[in-house]
Structure formats: structure tokens, C-alpha cells
Amino acid sequence: MSKTIPIRAGYPQPPPQLDAEGRAAWNRGLALWLDGTLQQRDLDAWQAYCAAFDEKKHCETIANRDG
């Protein structure tokens, strides 16, 4: 008897509101998507996680600028 493998939709493109750091984080999620760790139900939290990279970069830029 053969095993049925569910078909998953492709990994979505990064949300347009993410900047470079957030998009880079989003793209690193592809491996998690392919192995089934990251799933459709996780995408809202994943987006927030990726947005935190943008925020971190913004804060680092201000700290480096202002000392």
C-alpha cells in the first residue's frame, strides 16, 4: 500500500512591508517550509518574527548614528 503525501502550496513571497533584513529572514524560512516545520498557520507569527529583523536593523542604524 502506498503512502499518501499531502500537497502543500508553494512558499509565499515576502510581504511587501518587509525591508531588506526582514525579507532576508523570510527567505531563510524556505528550508523550514520545505521540511514541514513552518506551515500556513504559522505565517502571521513568522511575519512578525521577520519584521523584528527590520526593527533591529533600524535600531542599530540609530545607535550607530547617534552613538
Q: Please indicate whether residue 67 or residue 51 has the higher confidence score (pLDDT).
A: 51
1-59: pLDDT as tens digits: 555 455 567 899 999 999 999 999 999 999 999 998 999 999 999 999 999 999 999 99
Q: Give the number of C-alpha atoms closer than 13 A to the C-alpha of residue 2, restricted to the C-beta side.
A: 3
Query: What's the pLDDT score for residue 9?
Result: 73
Specify the pTM. 0.80
Query: What's the pLDDT score for residue 3?
Result: 57
Decide if 14 contacts 46 (C-beta within 8 A): no
Query: What's the pLDDT score for residue 7?
Result: 55
Query: What's the pLDDT score for residue 54?
Result: 97
Residue 45: strand, helix, or coil: helix
